[in-house]
Chain A
Amino acid sequence: MSGRAERSAGRWASRAVQLSFLIALLVLWYGLTTWGHVSPILLPNPLAVLHELIQVITTGEFVGDLLTTLSELAAAFTISMVLGTIIGYLISRSPYLIEVFEPLLAGIYSIPIILFLPLYSLLFGLGEPSKIALGATISFFPIVLNTIAGFGHVDRIFIISARSMGASNYQLFRRVLVPAALPIILTGLRMGFTLALLAILGSEVLASLAGLGHRIAELDEKMDRAHMFAYITFAVVIAAFLNTVVSWLEAKGKR
């Protein structure tokens, strides 16, 4: 009984520490910008940022940028999901092909592919196609590798017993291979989604014409800092929301 009370006290203390950490940060930010003579060009006042954020949301000026980013993300992820799962499945059908292709794909995966952004800009221009292509390239690798891992390492005994009980090709695929591989594939899809989002936001910040990342970089160049902070907050919340949804879908699909 006392152990539980102690544990709950400890949990409250942790919450208190987290809350006071957050409050201290905000107070420090407010204090520095209000009385600390910190230039608003370097660090805008949190109230000004909040004001801008409300402006951005109520006037709906974010809609165009958000739609650009989301449509790029949807296109990139669809491409990498379709290609990644199909190619991964085909490779996983033979241990030999796995041995040939898996180290190759894993090797390319270890290179920071963002390096090729200048090439993508040259080939696909500064608009949406280069973002979609880069996002699709970067997210392809975790998806294909996890699909290979998922389908390639299904326990042989399941396949043999399904076969001996007279399962057709389709039944084997639908009832044995997919259920066994799905958790690993879903993890790959989640990683791919996160990477695609990062790649698209990143390439928008680095070189682009539209999108959330582009707006942040543009406001930075205009030195409109409070507005920029508002957009950063907005983008971070959107990213956190998307990642939470995807993690939730992953957990739901694994059950």
Chain B
Amino acid sequence: MAHAPAVDDTRDLTGAAGRQGVGAFLRARPWLARLGVIVVLFAVWEIAARFFVDKMFLAPPSLVYMRLYAVFATAGVPAALRITFFELTVAFLISVAIGLSVGLAVGLSRFTHRSFMPIILLLYGTPQITILPLFVLYFGIGPASKIAFGVSHGMFPIIVTVIAGVQNIKPILLTSAKSMGASRWQIFRWVIFPHMVPSFFTGMRLAMSAVLLGVLLAELYGSSVGIGYFTTLFTQSFDPTRLLGLVSVLAAMAIALNELARRAEMRFSRWRSA
């Protein structure tokens, strides 16, 4: 067993080629090897789907790609994607509004922080999936229940990070602002607010993936118009080609939204490290 951190372990990867040139070429370009790994994974999937797994249960990626148009041509799918996107947007906006106001209300005073933080952490820690049926019960099977469930996932990361951002300000900054005669509003605007921004954006990034999870869970549980209806339909009609196509489109949407949130976070946290 080679436990030592041998620098030469990379040679395993290029050993097949056996030539120093190829190894050095790949070693200088990790992204190329990364691409290679992705290609290999798709190839394994393609071969498994073509030769080893029943066509009722798995479709090869080439076929999924070629038939992507069939997903969009299915009556109702474009509308369902729009509805899901709408649910995500509204749930995210409500999460931000609730998260920011609750976070500030709880975080700005020591008393409310000490009183309500345990309650918030307790609620944040419960597995909300167990109460998903209640959301459908109270908000119906339309978009409202998906939005509500998305908000129930999305608001907690923002509440917690806003509170952390407000609390982690060095007392010396507050004291010096006060001693220079700053009003409460000025302290908030020029000391607390700028310090809160980076953690607020971290919260928004976490909230984005949480909202995605919440909305998609609610969609999968039961949906009359959203994409959950079509994933169920494609599953029950043993149509893995269209199911994989739809899931890929949704995964792409999730990646894009997460990436957007991550970029925003990096951009707005820059002032601190600079």
Closest Cβ of chain B: how far from A218's Cβ, in Å?
10
B119 at the interface (CB under 8 A from A): yes
Majority secondary structure, A binding face: helix
Q: Which of A96, A99, A104, A236 has the most CB of B within 10 A?
A: A96
Binds B, one of A29-37, A70-78, A119-127, A183-191: A119-127
Complex contact B255–A18 (CB within 8 A): no
B212 partner, pick from A112, A172, A173, A217, beta carbons under 8 A: A112
- Which residues from B are CB-within-8-Å of A103? 34
Complex: how many Å from CA A240 to CA B123?
10
- Which residues from B are CB-within-8-Å of A94? 5-7, 9-10
Complex contact A170–B133 (CB within 8 A): no
Majority secondary structure, B binding face: helix
Complex contact B3–A21 (CB within 8 A): no
Complex contact B119–A21 (CB within 8 A): yes
Complex: how many Å from CA A119 to CA B238?
10
Binds A, one of B93-101, B155-163, B176-184, B227-235: B227-235
Q: Which of B53, B125, B133 has the most CB of A within 10 A?
A: B133
Complex contact A239–B111 (CB within 8 A): no
A116 at the interface (CB under 8 A from B): yes
Complex contact A118–B243 (CB within 8 A): yes
A17 at the interface (CB under 8 A from B): yes
Closest to A218 in B: B133
Complex contact A169–B37 (CB within 8 A): no
Complex contact B127–A197 (CB within 8 A): yes
Closest to B215 in A: A112
- Which residues from B are CB-within-8-Å of A42? 137-138
Closest to A21 in B: B119
Complex contact B13–A97 (CB within 8 A): yes
Complex: how many Å from CA A241 to CA B57?
37
Complex contact B115–A93 (CB within 8 A): no
Binds B, one of A47-55, A56-64, A140-148, A200-208: A200-208
- Which residues from B are CB-within-8-Å of A205? 129-130, 132-133, 221
Complex: how many Å from CA A205 to CA B13?
43
Closest to B240 in A: A122
Complex contact A110–B130 (CB within 8 A): no
Contact pattern, A 223-255, Cβ under 8 Å of B = 1, otherwise 0: 000001000100110011001000000000000
Complex contact B9–A122 (CB within 8 A): no
Tally B residues with Cβ within 8 Å of A.
60
Which residues of chain A (20-48) have a CB below 8 Å from chain B?
21, 42
Closest Cβ of chain B: how far from A207's Cβ, in Å?
8
Complex: how many Å from CA A90 to CA B41?
18
Complex: how many Å from CA A172 to CA B4?
7
Quick one: given A18-B119, A243-B125, are A118 and B255 in contact (CB under 8 Å)? Answer: no
B118 at the interface (CB under 8 A from A): yes
Complex: how many Å from CA A107 to CA B7?
26
Which residues of chain A (154-182) have a CB below 8 Å from chain B?
159, 169-170, 172-173, 177
Complex contact A122–B10 (CB within 8 A): no
Quick one: given A17-B115, A118-B235, are A240 and B126 in contact (CB under 8 Å)? Answer: yes
Complex: how many Å from CA A58 to CA B126?
24
Contact pattern, B 110-152, Cβ under 8 Å of A = 1, otherwise 0: 1100111011000001110111111011100000000000000
Complex: how many Å from CA A240 to CA B127?
8
Complex: how many Å from CA A228 to CA B6?
57
Closest Cβ of chain B: how far from A99's Cβ, in Å?
4
- Which residues from B are CB-within-8-Å of A118? 220, 231-232, 234-235, 243, 247
A18 partner, pick from B34, B115, B133, beta carbons under 8 A: B115
Closest to A107 in B: B255
Quick one: given A112-B254, A122-B243, A205-B221, are A10 and B114 in contact (CB under 8 Å)? Answer: yes
- Which residues from A are CB-within-8-Å of B13? 96-97
Contact pattern, B 1-30, Cβ under 8 Å of A = 1, otherwise 0: 111111101100100000000000001001
Complex: how many Å from CA A166 to CA B247?
54
Complex contact B130–A213 (CB within 8 A): yes
Q: List 9 A-B contacts (CB under 8 A).
A: A13-B115, A14-B115, A18-B115, A100-B34, A110-B258, A112-B209, A115-B216, A232-B131, A239-B130
Give the interface of B toward A (CB within 8 A): 1-7, 9-10, 13, 27, 30, 33-34, 37-38, 53, 56-58, 110-111, 114-116, 118-119, 125-127, 129-134, 136-138, 209, 212-213, 216-217, 220-221, 231-232, 234-235, 238, 240, 243-244, 247, 250-251, 254-255, 258
Beyond known contacts A21-B116, A197-B127, A198-B129: 11 more, CB 8 A cutoff: A13-B115, A100-B33, A104-B38, A114-B217, A119-B240, A123-B53, A172-B3, A205-B129, A213-B129, A213-B130, A232-B131
Q: For the complex of A and B, list the 10 residue pairs with the smallest distance between their C-beta atoms, beginning with the closest.
A: A220-B133, A173-B3, A17-B115, A94-B9, A99-B30, A14-B115, A202-B129, A14-B114, A118-B235, A169-B3
